């Protein structure tokens, strides 16, 4: 007899950004279970009283792709897209659900095409993702431009090295959207208390909140970043944040398009290739940590 209290999960990480993944295909988890999990995200993601994670991911049926990905931050807010999570979902699907190297995953920011890359032992080496088109027009983002000091000659509706003042301190910000929204700030030194990013995340200029990346330029092909994710705090890495950082580096003249840029996150490296106002591609690892079971009546 199947114990309806049991819920299976898999914990995975992409460059240290870790997720609790629930396989909900074929009605393995009904809506009642899913809703209960969503209501208890804080507890599940807490390392002391739960499983511990940066967020949770549901793999669901899709009518327009091979599967759909639904992701929630650990504060309970839903994210439209997550680059590290989609690589984990792709690896999980390839290992357990699908028998092809190229397939599509539906997200709230559109359908994403993924490629499974294998090493000489035919094991999964990396996952490549077409992250879609980059949005730079602030009119297409939830940005309150009244709180940002724009240059007088700004004609493109781009926020590139514009002034944002917080507590009399000036930040030069560049804003980019990949379905979720990013504020990129260039720094010569990344050794500082990142909690100041919380002030940016919740600033009135960003009514829905925003992810914040601090970026150090190493050279034309290498950058280093630290990430503050909306609804999460500092994380070891961020896929969309790495993409946004490369786009911002191109917009500010530090890097070039159609070139592989190595983005050094705390948790590992990602390779980003920005195709100049077209699609942007991300390549990186995805790693299974463990499988587990928890009981719904413990929540």
What tokens appear for 99 in the block? 């028998």
Question: Which residues, in sequence order, are bridge partners of residue 213?
Answer: 184, 227
Q: Residue 160 CB: number of other CB atoms within 10 A?
A: 19
Query: Helix %, strand %, coil % for the chain, to 5?
Result: 20, 45, 35
| Active-site residue identified among 15, 24, 45, 82 | 82
User: What is the chain's alpha carbon radius of gyration, rounded to the nearest angstrom?
Assistant: 19
Q: Give CA–CA dist 198/195, Å, rounded.
A: 6
Counting DSSP H helices and E strands in the chain, the numbers are 5, 18
Q: Give CA–CA dist 76/200, Å, rounded.
A: 20
Phi, psi of 94 (to 5 degrees): -65, -40
In the annotation, is 88 catalytic?
A: no
Phi, psi of 117 (to 5 degrees): -105, 135
Residues 81 and 44 sit within 8 Å (Cβ to Cβ): no
Q: How far apart are the first and last CA of the chain?
A: 22
Tokens 């940016």 appear where? 200
In the annotation, is 238 catalytic?
A: yes
At 196, is the secondary structure helix, strand, or coil? helix
| Nearest partner of 55 among 110, 9, 122, judged by Cα | 9
The count of residues in the chain is: 299
| Active-site residue identified among 24, 88, 175, 238 | 238
At 185, is the secondary structure helix, strand, or coil? strand
Catalytic residues: 82, 238
């Amino acid at each position: 007899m199947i114990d309806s209290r049991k819920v299976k999960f898999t914990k995975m990480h992409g460059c240290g950004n870790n997720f609790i993944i629930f396989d909900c295909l074929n009605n393995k988890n009904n809506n009642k279970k899913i809703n209960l999990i969503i209501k208890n995200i804080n507890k599940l993601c807490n390392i002391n009283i739960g499983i511990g994670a940066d967020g949770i991911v549901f793999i669901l049926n899709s009518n327009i792709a091979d599967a759909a990905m639904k992701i929630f931050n650990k504060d309970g807010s839903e994210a439209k897209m997550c680059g590290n999570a989609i690589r984990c979902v792709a690896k999980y699907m390839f290992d357990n659900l699908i028998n092809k190297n190229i397939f599509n995953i539906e997200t709230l920011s559109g359908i994403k095409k993924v490629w499974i890359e294998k090493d000489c032992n035919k094991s999964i080496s990396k996952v490549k993702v077409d992250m879609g088109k980059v949005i730079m027009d602030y009119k297409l983002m939830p940005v309150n431009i009244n709180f940002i000091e724009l240059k007088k000659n700004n004609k493109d509706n781009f926020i590139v090295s514009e002034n944002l003042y917080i507590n009399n301190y000036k930040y030069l910000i560049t804003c980019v959207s990949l379905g979720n929204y990013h504020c990129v700030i260039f720094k010569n030194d990344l050794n500082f208390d990142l909690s100041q990013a919380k002030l940016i995340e919740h600033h009135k200029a960003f009514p829905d909140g925003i992810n914040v990346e601090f970026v150090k330029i190493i050279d034309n092909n290498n950058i280093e970043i630290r990430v503050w994710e909306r609804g999460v705090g500092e994380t070891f890495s961020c896929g969309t944040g790495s993409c946004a950082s490369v786009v911002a580096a191109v917009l500010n003249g530090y890097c070039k398009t159609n070139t592989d840029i190595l983005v050094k996150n705390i948790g590992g490296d990602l390779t980003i290739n920005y195709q100049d106002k077209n699609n942007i591609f991300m390549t990186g690892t995805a790693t299974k940590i463990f499988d587990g079971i928890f009981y719904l009546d413990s929540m």
